[in-house]
Amino acid sequence: MTDESWAGWYRDRQGSDAVILTTDGQQLRLRTRGIDFEGESFDGLAPVAGTPPADGLFALVDGALGDCVLEWDLPLPVLWDESVHQATLSCLLSLRRPDPYLYLELQFGGAAYRSHRAESDFASALATIQRALPPGVRLQTCIACAFSDYFPSPGRGLSGGLACFRGAKDAYRGAAGEGDVLDLWDRRTGFVQEIWSCREYESRPDRGAGTGHRGAFPLELA
């Protein structure tokens, strides 16, 4: 996977700073105020080993960035009329305790398609946007891909816990239900960000085989 970089802002009680978020689809990286942070989820960005932040410079919750707001934009591909078009996804993530929340807005075709104001995770927020899009327009991201699923268990994290089965495509195409996904779990390629997109994307089936544990997108059973 090739790294992508997204420009944005980091805000907390100390002020606002322009930042660049970088990801390879799995690991997230952010540098602000001279400190490097990384993690597999947006709420798990911790200082890189060997670069501890100065006392009071950041609010860390369980070792990760907290009590702050991240805002960034990224290009997001959508499928429309059998062609790929570029849209822009604006993300606002509040990590302020005790009630962190996420808000997404997709700009496409001169219109804005929004998630709810206080979503709990990227999967739910992207599903809300997909439901609002015109018929025939589909997000081309990992959450909408034919080869992605979550571990069959209650709940899911904010981001980054989506398993990719691109290395076992034919087997996953027959997966329908919790048991099938459990049988395939050790064959996963790795975990990816819900807002990532790669060249091996295929649209997720609407029903039946290939919908795995979580079901079709945006109708999710998990």
Report pLDDT digits (tens) over 151-171.
998 888 999 999 999 999 999
Rounded Cα distance between 101 and 97, Å, is 10
The pTM of this model reads 0.94
Place of tokens 């975990």: 191
pLDDT band, residue 150 (cuts 50/70/90): very high
Q: Given this model, what pLDDT does residue 221 score? A: 53
Question: What integer is the mean pLDDT of 38-62?
Answer: 87
∠ CA 153-154-158, nearest 5°, is 100
In contact, 91 and 74? CB cutoff 8 Å: yes
The pLDDT of residue 43 is above 60: yes
In contact, 188 and 165? CB cutoff 8 Å: yes
∠ CA 161-162-165, nearest 5°, is 135
Q: Given this model, what pLDDT does residue 99 score? A: 80
Question: What integer is the mean pLDDT of 140-145?
Answer: 97
E strands, 48-194, in order: 59-61, 64-66, 69-80, 83-94, 101-108, 111-114, 137-139, 148-149, 162-164, 190-192
Say whether the peptide bond before residue 152 is cis (omega within 30 degrees of 0): no
In contact, 49 and 108? CB cutoff 8 Å: no
Q: Given this model, what pLDDT does residue 159 score? A: 96
What is the percent of the chain with per-residue pLDDT over 70, rounded to a whole number?
Answer: 98
Q: How far is CA 52 from the centre of its chain?
A: 27
Question: For residues 61 and 193, which has the higher predicted lDDT (pLDDT)?
Answer: 193
pLDDT band, residue 222 (cuts 50/70/90): very low
The pLDDT of residue 62 is above 80: yes
Question: What integer is the mean pLDDT of 68-75?
Answer: 97
In contact, 171 and 181? CB cutoff 8 Å: no
Q: Given this model, what pLDDT does residue 1 score? A: 60
